[in-house]
Amino acid sequence: MYTYVEMNRVNFSIVFGVNIVLLLFVGSAFTNPTKTEELNIEDFENYNNEINVEDEEADAKNRNAVNSPLQRWPSNILLYRISTDYNKDEVDNVHAALQVFNESTCLVFKQYDPRIHGNSKHIYYKKSPNMCGTKVGFNPLSPMGPHDIVLNPYCLSERGVIQHETLHVLGLYHEQSRPDRNKYVQIEYSNIPQQYWSQFIAYPEMYTTTYNVKYDYESLMHYSQFAFAKDSTKPSMRARNGTMVIERKMGQIVGPSEGDLTKIRLMYKCN
């Protein structure tokens, strides 16, 4: 199971990236009265398994999900470092994005300083011309050095996307991948190209846990109801209400939901 989640529907260059995505977005706004005009996380992350992810891809593909305590970060103090490639707005966005965790959980995001922290494990916000993504959870096999989050300028412009990637690093998978998700959503495979079915895998309970937090359609980790839809006027996921399916909005990129924060607090034993 690969855990490297990256961005983008089109392998675009740094120069054309924003334009292409905006074109897709504008196009859908004109042709698609049902789909909301908001962007969703699947518009940023890449769903393409074969994308050329850097260094540790092979390792990422073999890792278990984050039920294991070893895949939680060992300390509540999380060191982070921002690439010197980032411009001032991008740097400010990362700091601001992390603030919510400092304020609403017992985690303390603190800037990494090589003179003080040496080779300590730290989250490294790196720049990529065309990808956004990271590996899920702490990697106990690599307890020192950087844990990369790669972000392109487009992803860096949205604090919610920076927070989404950071939640992956802390150990959260996508909400619709929960082992119990079939009780809450119905995946409309007939409206999803087969090459993207892997994006809708529910992870088995032996690898993941829900921390008994209620299924959260508003999670920052939830795809939208139109994610990867062949016919984007129709949902690819429908909410369930018992045996009934209902249409409802899912996902957002504004910021972590209360459910997301609750999971982090439980995972990191806040209080």
Nearest-CB residue for Zn ion:
5
State whether residue 196 is helix, strand or coil: helix
Residue among 86, 141, 77 at smallest CA distance from 109:
77
Binding residue positions for Zn(2+): 164, 168, 174
Structure tokens at 207: 């690898």
Q: How far is the CB of 168 from Zn ion (least distance, A)?
A: 6
165 annotated active-site? yes
- Residue 31 φ/ψ, nearest 5 degrees: -95, -5
Site string for Zn ion, 191-220 (x = CB under 5 A): ------------------------------
Beta pairing partners, 45: 7
State the catalytic residue, choosing from 42, 90, 165, 188: 165
The answer to whether the beta carbons of residues 172 and 221 sit under 8 Å apart is yes
Q: How far is the CB of 139 from Zn ion (least distance, A)?
A: 17
What lies within 8 Å, CB to CB, of 129 at 6+ separation is 13, 14, 17, 152
Residue among 219, 206, 222 at smallest CA distance from 262:
219
Within a 10 A sphere around the Cβ of 135, how many other Cβ atoms?
24
Site string for Zn ion, 29-68 (x = CB under 5 A): ----------------x-----------------------
Please report, as a single letter, which amino acid is at residue 210: T
Q: Per CB under 5 A, does 253 bind Zn ion?
A: no
Among 5, 150, 151, 162, indicate the residue that binds Zn ion (CB under 5 A). Answer: 5
- The interface region with Zn ion, picked from 2-10, 31-39, 154-162, 187-195 by CB under 5 A, is 2-10
What is the contact surface with Zn ion in residues (CB under 5 A)? 5, 45
Among all residues, which ones are annotated catalytic?
165
